[in-house]
Amino acid sequence: MVLTLFLIITLTFFLVEAQPGDYASFYVLNPDLPPEVKDQIRAAFGLDRPVWQQYLIHLKNTVTGNLGVSFGNYPRPVIDVLAERVPRTLVLFLTATAVSFYIGFFLGKAIAWRRGGLFEYATTISGAVLFTAFTPAFALMMIWVFAFKLGWFPVGKFLDPLVWRGADVSANYVFGNMLLSAGAFIVFALLVMLLLKRFGRAVPSVVALPIVLGGAAVIVAAWAISGIGGLALDIVKHMVLPVATLTLISFAGTMLLTRNSMLETIREDYVMAARAKGLPDKQVRDRHAARNAMLPVVTSLVYSLIFAIDGSVIIESVFSWPGTGLTLLQAVRSEDLPLVMGAILFIGVLSLLAHVVVDVLYVYLDPRIRYQ
Amino acid sequence: MRFNRWMALCGLLVALFLLPGCTTEAAPESTPTPVTEATATPQSEVGEVPGATPTAPSEAETEPEGPSGEETEHVYRIGIAADLTTTNHWAYLGPDGTVWNGYVLAESKPSLYGYSAQRNDWIPSLAVDFPTPLKEEVVDGETLWTTEVELIEGVKWSDGNDVTAEDFAFTASTAAEMELTGNWPSIVDPDYFDYAETDGPYHLKIFFKQKPGLARWQFGLAFMPIFSKSYWEPVVTEARQAGDIIEQQKVLFSHVPEGEPSAGGFIFGQWERGAFAEKDRNPDYSFSGSEVALYANGAYSTSTLGLNEFTAYGEPSGEAVLEYVEGPFAASTIYSIYGSQDAAVLALKKGDIDFMLNPVGLSKGLQEQLAGEGGLTTIENASDGVRYLGFNFRRAPLDNRAFRQAVATLIDKEFLVDTVLQGVAIPIYTMVPEGNGAWYNSDVPLIGKGMTRQERVGRAVELLKEAGFTWETEPRVSEDGNFIEQPGEGLTMPNGEPVPAMGLFAPSAGYDPLRSTFAIWIERWLNEVGIPLRANLTGFNVIVEKVFDQQDFDMWILGWGLTPFPDYLESFFHSRHSALEGYNAGGYNNPDFDRLADGLLSETDLEAARQQVFEMQAFLAEDLPYVVLFDTPIVETYRSERIEYPYTDTWGGLQSVAGMPSLVDFR
């Protein structure tokens, strides 16, 4: 992992460095600046040093956890810029990933189970069409139809300035709380399910859903009395269109993966045995086939979740959603080296962690797998 | 865990994000703040006070219409296409000098002098009148140049303090002593500015190390934004105690101003990063209600009740070509940040914003999208920039004047602009565009203008022959003059050597289709007469590196954004700027021009400087270190059913005046 990380950092640095010019080139275009002032600017950014020295400085900074100062937001630390952008991307893309995974898995399972029907053809064709749609054009079309023509949703952005004028809290505070709420809810739901499993048949499983819903209701109530519920609502309102766009574009990936995996699984002997035992169709599909078919799907989900942090440059640009994807693109274009390195490092570390998480999940999901 | 529980979990997670939206506000901070009536009278109080009780979504704010059907407050809504990077004005003029920062932070700081609307006359702003003429003085055995300025009494910062000469002296000395970088050295040039002395709160005496010309004083230091000493002095003191000068600058630039007083029409209020910035009306703006008039005879007059009356450039008489009253008329200005121009245009169409700021205006496609939309008005202005073809004088035959004139003759700008580019650009012939009326010389030689293809080729051949160039096969135009029947071959320079194969760097079509089209046609026209040229369409950064950093090129096409005072003529073409990374990248070296440029830099009289600039334009139009190609008009659209500007004809478009937040009025 350490070697992989080192390679990521090194490759990124030299790729960005290989671009013509540097950040200080921006000042070439001001004819009123004497050359010595341009040299001063280069010195302030550390760009007057040889490339190998700059590389060693970045390497040292990375190891010591100091990501440096963003040139484009001088003298703001890189970590500040990332901390500001990550929650926005996470809220949007985690939601979109969860929704598209849910829909994709549900549909994939269904079409694999009922092969050859009109439903399968219609779903597969429409999914494939959406999956291959040109994202910028499709996103703009969504805005044009649903925001501009029908007026149902806002035209991009993540909040309405008229709603947020004079607000006592920042958007990031609200985003942070939204993530915290989601985290708290997941932990609560997991605890409920673990406890139910522990007590076995002593507690009827039908109790689980009301308890989990009760937990959700408590969190919703907390939002309502927090005084920032209206602000969160505004963000949610702005999320609907980008989430819908992302879902429509990406659900087919999960759907087709699930379908293929399910088609292999339902041919297995144990599925036939379950049917032969006279188990209900739904039970055979969901508990015997789907669970075993989900391994590749879960792998795909975990990687999607990690790369959700990377965001999507296209979606963030079209919907004016200033997250990490857009930040990374702007940083690369302006050769804001510390910010590029910081963002890549962040994504690199998380993707490496994702591999570990997937390995652990495999063991949990498939008891046959054991690591020596 | 069963898989369907995972599914339920995912579903609930989504619901959790959605459910808070179904609740109603109940917290104290959600209490709507009463918003009082804001009339068109600039002096009237409004309910929206900076730092006032925060308001959550309220009926009065989200809906512009009040119960009576009248607007409860006027919010000027502007779209911008990138986020701010700072709200610290020191940093904005330093390492954070983006155009977007400039749009939002504009108008909050006073300056001694400024430009008049439309005509760009040099006029007093915080000063009572023009400064005293520069004079030589010996101070402590050192010869210095001095000038004195009287400041208007009673101009207030929004914190109630007076704007004084001390503020000016503090700002200039901070910039000089802390060696601030970025744009600061072009405002406070340490080679010229020595120090400023105050004699009472409203009298200023400025000392220069050497005689400053118009560029360093009248159009440099005199335009310096003045900072509030009472607010910034503690910050600067703290910064000065940090380590070396870079550390000191970092401390100053990293300060996030909160409650910084403004002397402009608006006070910076709120910045929600990535989403919007808001400026609130300054109820104590001293120039609210000022009446400004420009007359056809060139006169300029302004009158601020109880503060100052000023007239210049003749007696105000006859027809007033422009009259307006200073606002602000908006209770606040909101700058909404969009990720792309397309998104901002849709917002403009939908009515979410009134105007969008963009340094290059609207592209052709976006103009078409907005065409015919009700309630919108599209305007077109000359832009404050030029696109040019430059030559490397270090390489033959580009150092040959006749050769450059032949190239200029062959380029049919009118054909390209009118026929190929369908009128999206304007052909130009001088480095000072026509829109910059005060400095534009309409009487420069227009090489090649109005010629037919046949005449162009004939004239180019004639010029080259006169200079000693020869061909193995001379180019020949068809009888009808429409095409080259026989391309030129074997072109030889006066020294007998063949003209070498040359390259032309130009931006690719993805970056700028206009310049790449020009490059392709220039390649074709030059090849037709036997000049071996190949257009190399590449990235902007590659061109900048090749041309400015390495000077490894033959010809290049790029563009410049220009300032109203054309001292850039000296920066681009004086031989002293021809070293690596200098702005005279082509290495143009003409002692006659250098003399003219030096004269402009040291000139202190406005009229004499104008004559010099005229002469320089004529000189350059014949000597041709650049062949000035074209300019594109700035096309902008605003929601005229809601807002109105006192004028829309202005060089560089409304974006050049940051969308006029202090002047925009509401219907």
Contact at CB, A95 and B55, closer than 8 angstroms = no
The pLDDT of residue A312: 74
pLDDT over 80 (residue B518): yes
SS3 call for B427: strand
Q: Is residue A69 part of a domain?
A: no
**How far is residue B344's CA from residue B419's CA, in Å, rounded to a whole number?**
31
- The domain that contains A144 carries what CATH number? 1.10.3720.10
| Nearest Cα residue to A74 out of A30, A23, A39 | A23
Contact at CB, B33 and A166, closer than 8 angstroms = yes
Q: Is residue A237 part of a domain?
A: yes
Distance of CA B253 to the CA centre of its chain: 23
Identity of the residue in A32, A216, A326 whose CB atom sits nearest the CB atom of B15: A216
Percent of chain B that is helix, strand, coil (3-state, to 5): 30, 20, 50
The pLDDT of residue A282: 84
The pLDDT of residue B57: 32
The residues in A 68-107 lying below 8 A from B, measured between CB atoms, are 69, 71-76, 84-85, 88, 91, 95, 98-99, 101-102, 105-106
Compare all CA atoms of chain B with the CA of A233 and give the residue at the minimum distance.
B21
Contact at CB, A75 and B254, closer than 8 angstroms = yes
The pLDDT of residue B558: 94
What value does the CA radius of gyration of chain A take, rounded to a whole number of Å?
25
pLDDT over 70 (residue B8): no
More confident residue, B453 or B8: B453
Is the domain of A91 the same as that of A233? yes
**Bond into B328 cis (ω within 30):** yes
B243–chain A Cβ distance below 8 A for any pair: no
Q: Is residue A144 part of a domain?
A: yes
Identity of the residue in B19, B29, B343 whose CB atom sits nearest the CB atom of A227: B29
Work out the burial of residue B172: count CB atoms within 10 Å of its CB; fewer than 13 is exposed, 13-18 middle, 19 or more buried: buried
pLDDT over 50 (residue B241): yes
Residue range B259-280, pLDDT digits in tens: 999 999 999 999 999 999 999 9
Is the domain of A287 the same as that of A161? yes
Q: Is residue A187 part of a domain?
A: no
Compare all CA atoms of chain A with the CA of B342 and give the residue at the minimum distance.
A318
Tell me the two tokens of residue B144. Answer: 């210095």
Is the domain of A110 the same as that of A138? yes
Q: To 10 degrees, the CA torsion angle through B80, B82, B87, B93? A: -100
**How far is residue B120's CA from residue B437's CA, in Å, rounded to a whole number?**
8
The residues in B 506-545 lying below 8 A from A, measured between CB atoms, are 539, 541-542, 544-545
The residues in B 315-354 lying below 8 A from A, measured between CB atoms, are 332, 334, 336-340, 342-343, 346-347, 349-350, 352
Q: What confidence tier does B429 reach under pLDDT thresholds 50, 70, 90?
A: very high
Q: What confidence tier does B196 reach under pLDDT thresholds 50, 70, 90?
A: very high
Q: Of the residues A63, A90, A108, which one is the last residue of a structural domain?
A: A63
Residue range B384-410, pLDDT digits in tens: 889 999 999 999 999 999 999 999 999
More confident residue, A370 or B85: B85
pLDDT over 80 (residue B514): yes
Compare all CA atoms of chain A with the CA of B61 and give the residue at the minimum distance.
A162
Identity of the residue in A37, A213, A227 whose CB atom sits nearest the CB atom of B25: A227
The region of weakest confidence among A63-72, B296-305, B324-333, B349-358 is A63-72
Contact at CB, B55 and A31, closer than 8 angstroms = no
pLDDT over 50 (residue A155): yes
Q: Residue A45 belongs to what domain range?
A: 2-63
Is the domain of A130 the same as that of A278? yes
Compare all CA atoms of chain A with the CA of B85 and give the residue at the minimum distance.
A73
Torsional class of B107: left (φ above 0), alpha (ψ -120 to 50), beta (otherwise): left
Contact at CB, B8 and A165, closer than 8 angstroms = no
Q: What is the mean pLDDT of residues B481-489?
A: 85
Q: Is residue A199 part of a domain?
A: no
**How much of chain A exceeds pLDDT 90, in percent?**
26
Residues in chain B with CB shorter than 8 Å from the CB of A230 are 24-25, 30, 56-57
Identity of the residue in A71, A227, A236 whose CB atom sits nearest the CB atom of B21: A236
pLDDT over 90 (residue B203): yes
Q: What confidence tier does A164 reach under pLDDT thresholds 50, 70, 90?
A: very high
The β-bridge relationship of strands B135-139 and B142-150 is antiparallel
Q: Is residue A362 part of a domain?
A: yes
Residues in chain A with CB shorter than 8 Å from the CB of B579 are 35
A319–chain B Cβ distance below 8 A for any pair: yes
Q: What is the mean pLDDT of residues A79-86?
A: 90
Q: What is the mean pLDDT of residues B649-662?
A: 93
Q: How far is B294 from chain A (nearest CA, A)?
A: 30
**How far is residue B184's CA from residue B88's CA, in Å, rounded to a whole number?**
14
Helical spans, DSSP H, in B241-391: 245-254, 341-350, 364-370
The pLDDT of residue A200: 65
**How far is residue B549's CA from residue B581's CA, in Å, rounded to a whole number?**
5
Residues in chain B with CB shorter than 8 Å from the CB of A35 are 579, 581-582
DSSP B374-420: TT-EEEEE--SEEEEEEE-TTSTTTT-HHHHHHHHHH--HHHIIIII
Contact at CB, B350 and A151, closer than 8 angstroms = yes
| Nearest Cα residue to B503 out of B457, B539, B555 | B555
Q: Of the residues A38, A63, A88, which one is the last residue of a structural domain?
A: A63
Contact at CB, A156 and B253, closer than 8 angstroms = no
CA distance to A238, B425, B516, per residue, from B433 (Å)? 44, 13, 21
The region of weakest confidence among A330-339, B184-193, B369-378 is A330-339
Residue range B555-605, pLDDT digits in tens: 999 999 888 899 999 989 999 989 887 889 999 999 999 999 999 988 888
For chain B, give the mean pLDDT. 86
Residue range A223-268, pLDDT digits in tens: 999 889 999 999 999 999 999 999 999 899 999 999 999 999 888 8
For this complex, say whether ipTM is above 0.90. no
Q: Are B533 and B584 in contact (CB under 8 A)?
A: no
**How far is residue B649's CA from residue A337's CA, in Å, rounded to a whole number?**
41
Residue range B605-633, pLDDT digits in tens: 888 999 999 999 999 999 999 999 999 89
Residue range A266-315, pLDDT digits in tens: 888 988 898 899 888 888 888 888 888 888 888 888 777 766 666 577 88
Q: Are A19 and B541 in contact (CB under 8 A)?
A: yes
Helical spans, DSSP H, in chain A: 2-17, 35-45, 51-63, 78-113, 118-131, 135-142, 161-164, 171-199, 208-226, 229-265, 269-276, 281-283, 291-307, 313-318, 324-333, 337-365
**How far is residue B516's CA from residue B509's CA, in Å, rounded to a whole number?**
5
Q: What is the mean pLDDT of residues A116-140?
A: 90
The dihedrals phi and psi of B127, each to the nearest 5 degrees, come to -80, 150
**How far is residue B499's CA from residue B530's CA, in Å, rounded to a whole number?**
9
The CA-based angle B291-B296-B298, given to 5 degrees, is: 80
Tell me the two tokens of residue B666. Answer: 């509401």
Residue range B155-180, pLDDT digits in tens: 999 999 999 999 999 999 999 999 99
More confident residue, B643 or B41: B643
Q: What confidence tier does A205 reach under pLDDT thresholds 50, 70, 90?
A: low
The pLDDT of residue B111: 97
Contact at CB, B20 and A185, closer than 8 angstroms = no
Q: What is the mean pLDDT of residues B345-374?
A: 90
The pLDDT of residue B19: 43
**How far is residue B277's CA from residue B294's CA, in Å, rounded to a whole number?**
33
A140–chain B Cβ distance below 8 A for any pair: yes
Is the domain of A134 the same as that of A21? no
The CA-based angle B548-B550-B555, given to 5 degrees, is: 65
Is the domain of A126 the same as that of A260? yes
Q: What is the mean pLDDT of residues A4-25?
A: 77
Residues in chain B with CB shorter than 8 Å from the CB of A141 are none
Identity of the residue in A43, A73, A236 whose CB atom sits nearest the CB atom of B18: A236
Adjacent-strand bridge partners of B123: B114
**How far is residue A72's CA from residue B97's CA, in Å, rounded to a whole number?**
10
pLDDT over 80 (residue A19): no
More confident residue, B25 or B632: B632
The dihedrals phi and psi of B389, each to the nearest 5 degrees, come to -110, 125
Residue range B449-482, pLDDT digits in tens: 999 989 999 999 999 999 999 999 999 888 777 7
Identity of the residue in A20, A72, A76 whose CB atom sits nearest the CB atom of B545: A20
**How far is residue B147's CA from residue B205's CA, in Å, rounded to a whole number?**
6
Is the domain of A33 the same as that of A90? no
**How far is residue B137's CA from residue B348's CA, in Å, rounded to a whole number?**
57
Identity of the residue in A154, A208, A227 whose CB atom sits nearest the CB atom of B26: A227
A303–chain B Cβ distance below 8 A for any pair: no
For chain A, give the mean pLDDT. 84
Is the domain of A42 the same as that of A82? no
More confident residue, B16 or A41: A41
Contact at CB, B560 and A102, closer than 8 angstroms = no
SS3 call for B560: strand
Q: Is residue A219 part of a domain?
A: no
Q: What is the mean pLDDT of residues B42-69?
A: 32
Q: What is the mean pLDDT of residues B408-415?
A: 95
pLDDT over 80 (residue A70): yes
Q: Of the residues A14, A30, A63, which one is the last residue of a structural domain?
A: A63
A332–chain B Cβ distance below 8 A for any pair: no
Q: How far is A245 from chain B (nearest CA, A)?
A: 15
Tell me the two tokens of residue B403. Answer: 């050769």
CA distance to A77, A246, B552, B554, B587, per residue, from B391 (Å)? 42, 50, 11, 6, 8
Contact at CB, B10 and A99, closer than 8 angstroms = yes
Is the domain of A52 the same as that of A113? no
Residue range B97-108, pLDDT digits in tens: 889 999 999 889
Contact at CB, B57 and A234, closer than 8 angstroms = yes
The pLDDT of residue B52: 30
Q: H or E segment at B629?
A: strand B626-631
In sequence order, the 6+-apart residues with CB closer than 8 A to the CB of A289 are A113, A262, A265, A266, A268, A271
DSSP strand E in B256-384: where?
266-272, 276-281, 291-295, 300-304, 308-312, 320-325, 332-337, 355-356, 377-381
**How far is residue A245's CA from residue B499's CA, in Å, rounded to a whole number?**
58
pLDDT over 70 (residue A93): yes
Is the domain of A148 the same as that of A110? yes
The pLDDT of residue A154: 92
**How much of chain A exceeds pLDDT 70, in percent?**
89
Q: What is the mean pLDDT of residues B506-530?
A: 93
More confident residue, A317 or B466: B466
Contact at CB, B337 and A157, closer than 8 angstroms = yes
| Mutation for A interface: B7, B10, B101, B216, most A CBs within 10 A | B10
pLDDT over 80 (residue B300): yes
In sequence order, the 6+-apart residues with CB closer than 8 A to the CB of B540 are B507, B511
**How far is residue B466's CA from residue B608's CA, in Å, rounded to a whole number?**
37
Residue range B105-143, pLDDT digits in tens: 988 999 999 999 988 889 999 999 999 999 999 999 999
The pLDDT of residue B48: 29
A269–chain B Cβ distance below 8 A for any pair: no
How many Cβ contacts (< 8 angstroms) between chains A and B? 285
Identity of the residue in A44, A85, A229 whose CB atom sits nearest the CB atom of B25: A229
pLDDT over 90 (residue A58): no
Q: Is residue A134 part of a domain?
A: yes
The domain tally of chain A equals 2
Is the domain of A270 the same as that of A362? yes
Contact at CB, B539 and A20, closer than 8 angstroms = yes
Is the domain of A38 the same as that of A136? no
Buried (b) or exposed (e) across A250-283, using 16+ Cβ within 10 A? bbbbbbbbbbebbbebbeeeebeebeeeeeeeee
The residues in A 148-177 lying below 8 A from B, measured between CB atoms, are 148, 151, 154-168, 170-172
